[in-house]
Amino acid sequence: MSSKPQASPAKTAGAPSGAPAGKPKLDISILKRIIRAFLKSYPKLIPLVIFCIIFSAVAASLPALFTQNIVSIIEKWYITRDWEGAKAEILPKIILLVGMYGLSILSSLAYTQIGAYITQGFLCKMRCAMFDKMQDLPLNFFDRKKHGDIMSVYTNDIDTLRQLVSQAIPTLLQAGVVVTAVLFIMLYFSLWLTLVVVAGVLAILFVSGKIGGGSAKFFVRQQASLGRAEGYIQEMMNGQRVIKVFNHEEQSQKGFDEVNNALYNDSFKAHAFANSLGPIIFNIGNLLYVLVSVVGGILLLSQAKNVSLSGMAFSVSIIVPFLGMTKQFTGNVNQVAQQFNSLIMGMAGAGRVFALLDREPEVDDGYVTLVNAVIDENGNITESEKRTGRWAWKHPHGDGTITYTELKGDVLLEDVDFSYIEGKQVLYDISVFAKPGQKVAFVGATGAGKTTITNLLNRFYDISDGKIRYDGINIKKIRKADLRRSLGIVLQETNLFTGTVMDNIRYGRLDATDEECIAAAKMAGADSFITRLPKGYSTELTNNGSNLSQGQRQLIAIARAAVADPPVMILDEATSSIDTRTEAMVQAGMDKLMENRTVFVIAHRLSTVMNSDVIMVLDHGRIIERGSHSDLIAAKGTYYRLYTGSFDAD
Calculate ∠ Cα 362-358-423, nearest 5°.
Answer: 55
What one-letter code names the amino acid at 92?
Answer: P
Q: What is the pLDDT of residue 504?
A: 92
b/e 251-287 (16+ beta carbons within 10 angstroms → b): bbbbbbbbbbbbbbbbbebbeebbeebeebbeebbee
Q: What is the pLDDT of residue 411?
A: 93
Q: What is the pLDDT of residue 21?
A: 41
How many residues belong to the chain? 650
- Is 80 exceeded by the pLDDT of residue 635? yes
pLDDT-based confidence at residue 19 (cuts at 50, 70, 90)? very low
- Is 80 exceeded by the pLDDT of residue 585? no
pLDDT-based confidence at residue 65 (cuts at 50, 70, 90)? low
Using alpha carbons, list the distances in angstroms from residue 38 to 117, 118, 531. 12, 9, 51
User: What would the pLDDT profile of 501-538 be if each residue is shown by its tens digit?
Assistant: 999 999 888 889 999 999 999 888 889 899 999 999 99
124: number of CA atoms within 13 Å, CB side?
A: 8
Q: What is the pLDDT of residue 403?
A: 93
Q: What is the pLDDT of residue 75?
A: 61
Q: What is the pLDDT of residue 3?
A: 39
pLDDT-based confidence at residue 69 (cuts at 50, 70, 90)? low
Contacts 24+ apart (CB under 8 A), 197-200: 197/288, 197/292, 197/325, 197/326, 197/329, 197/330, 200/284, 200/285, 200/287, 200/288, 200/291, 200/330
User: What would the pLDDT profile of 304-356 be if each residue is shown by its tens digit?
Assistant: 444 443 344 566 667 777 787 888 888 787 777 777 777 877 888 888 899 88
Predicted TM-score (pTM) of this structure = 0.70
User: What would the pLDDT profile of 74-128 be if each residue is shown by its tens digit?
Assistant: 666 655 666 666 666 777 777 777 887 788 888 888 888 898 899 999 999 999 9
User: What would the pLDDT profile of 389-437 be if each residue is shown by its tens digit?
Assistant: 888 999 999 888 999 999 988 999 999 999 988 878 899 999 999 988 8
For residues 559 and 162, give the distance between their C-alpha atoms in angstroms, rounded to a whole number. 43
User: What would the pLDDT profile of 183-196 be if each residue is shown by its tens digit?
Assistant: 888 888 778 888 88
Contact between residue 193 and residue 297 where contact means Cβ atoms under 8 Å apart: no
User: What would the pLDDT profile of 440-479 be if each residue is shown by its tens digit?
Assistant: 999 988 888 888 898 899 888 889 999 999 999 999 999 9
Contact between residue 180 and residue 336 where contact means Cβ atoms under 8 Å apart: no
Q: What is the pLDDT of residue 368?
A: 94
Q: Tell me what percent of the residues of the chain surpass a pLDDT of 90.
A: 18
Domains of the chain: 124-357 (1.20.1560.10), 369-406 (no CATH), 411-645 (3.40.50.300)
For residues 107 and 57, give the distance between their C-alpha atoms in angstroms, rounded to a whole number. 10
Q: What is the pLDDT of residue 14?
A: 42
- Is 60 exceeded by the pLDDT of residue 4? no
pLDDT-based confidence at residue 588 (cuts at 50, 70, 90)? low
For residues 225 and 261, give the distance between their C-alpha atoms in angstroms, rounded to a whole number. 9
